[in-house]
Chain A
Amino acid sequence: MVALAPTPRDSAAEQFVVVPAATRNGGVPALGWSRVAMVLRSFQAETSGIVLVELVAAGQIIIDIARRSYWWTGQPSEFPLRPRVARVRVALGDGVEVPYVQEQPGKLDELLWYIGRLAFPGEGAWWLMENDRYRLSQWPNLTELAHEPEDLRMLALLTNNALSPRQLAAASGAQHDSAIALINTLDLMGMLTVVAGEPMPDVVVPELPAPREGLFSRLRARLGR
């Protein structure tokens, strides 16, 4: 467990402001992770500051933007799958001190990868625009991130093509939900370039060689992945 130090650091807490839950069409995100994702996405351009995510009847997630690190104040085994968010507080800019923590931090990209997969299940993140297409601007460091083999195929396709989630699913053979979850995650991590879309006619999916017959599929099978 982590001790949060008393004063004088308490005065630093005054620098934090509560971030109200984002809404869309009058509704707030149903899932805690969705709410957290909305906050983090809105601060993606910031280079320094601290984000405090306080969970109901659980620990706190502390994010240091400048160091691209995070701390979880609960037990490692208790990191939530479906958190209930009490509130999110933010203090931006230099000079904001992280509340006292002893443990070594985790990497922020690992947290974003985790949150991105769980927030907005089955739908595009609320900040994404319908009809937009996406191209990868940076590969995630997958040796440090749990992933599925189909993620590799989708990432490779996004390297050379600007695709919508539906197009990505069709080209890779992945489920639409998987494609949209990956798009949500990569955008949350700042690893996509958005190609603004125009309203498209219905897409006719041409006959493609079945993705499962390529070298990638055969190698994946051989390696048991």
Chain B
Amino acid sequence: MAEHVILFAGPMGAGKTTAISTLSEIAVVSTEAANTERDVVDKATTTVALDYGEISLSDDEKVRLYGVPGQRRFDFMWSILKERARGLVLLVNNDAPDSVALAVEYLGSFEQLIHAGGVIVGVTRVDTAPEPGLGAYRDALSAAWPTAMMPVLSIDPRDAGQMQTALLMLVAIVDARASIPAVAELSR
């Protein structure tokens, strides 16, 4: 049985649970609890363990989609799940205060996936909050990780087409990294 674990991370309210729901072929396993911090993020519920969805490629192969809680007090879940992950979709809502700094901060907790797997950054809610522009994220990520080049996209986690594009991009990156020795031979 082959499994390919894709992680969805990012601050609370960025759209991780929604993104997995959009992609998953099964009803998403969710672990929502009543949010007692409405003054921090105005959401009724929050993920306290993980979200789980999947796409079955065959009877013996699955893409597993795990969403981790956004709050740092659950970062033990980040540690558990990132060990198994091949790639990361980092979602950040553009209307969050200091959203660019948040993106860099969150990505710092998953740095191993930048170098050993693949990462894409999806910026949500750009329709209602157009600033900062995607260029600001690219510049900040490039400053923090000069040798890595991560796609930065605008994305609506409710849109199946966009979410599929993001997932395929990530998988293409992971696949391409695995083929680097062969391609290096080709380009000599």
Contacts and interface: CB of A to CB of B under 8 A. Distances in A.
How many chain A residues sit at the interface, stated as a range, is 35 or more
Interface in A138-192: 138-139, 141-144, 147, 149, 152-153, 155-157, 159-164, 167, 170-171
Nearest to B135: A138
Interface string B173-188: 1111111101111110
B171 interface: yes
A170 B179 CA distance: 13
A205 interface: yes
B149 A214 contact: no
A36 to B, nearest CB: 24
Contacts of B186: 163, 167, 170-171, 203, 205-206, 208
A9 interface: no
A24 interface: no
Contacts of A156: 169, 172-173, 175-176
A164 B183 CA distance: 12
A216 B175 contact: yes
- Chain B residues touching A, majority SS: helix
Nearest to A136: B149
B61 A218 contact: yes
A3 B166 CA distance: 39
Contacts of A205: 186
Contacts of A159: 149, 173, 176
B153 A142 contact: yes
B169 A152 contact: yes
Interface in B128-177: 134, 138, 149-156, 159, 162, 164-169, 171-177
A163 B173 contact: no
B57 interface: yes
A163 B184 CA distance: 9
A162 B56 CA distance: 34
Contacts of B134: 141
A222 interface: yes
Q: Which 6 A-B pairs have the closest CB atoms?
A: A139-B151, A156-B176, A156-B172, A152-B172, A143-B162, A214-B175
Interface of A: 133, 136-139, 141-144, 147, 149, 152-153, 155-157, 159-164, 167, 170-171, 203, 205-206, 208-209, 214-216, 218-220, 222-223, 225
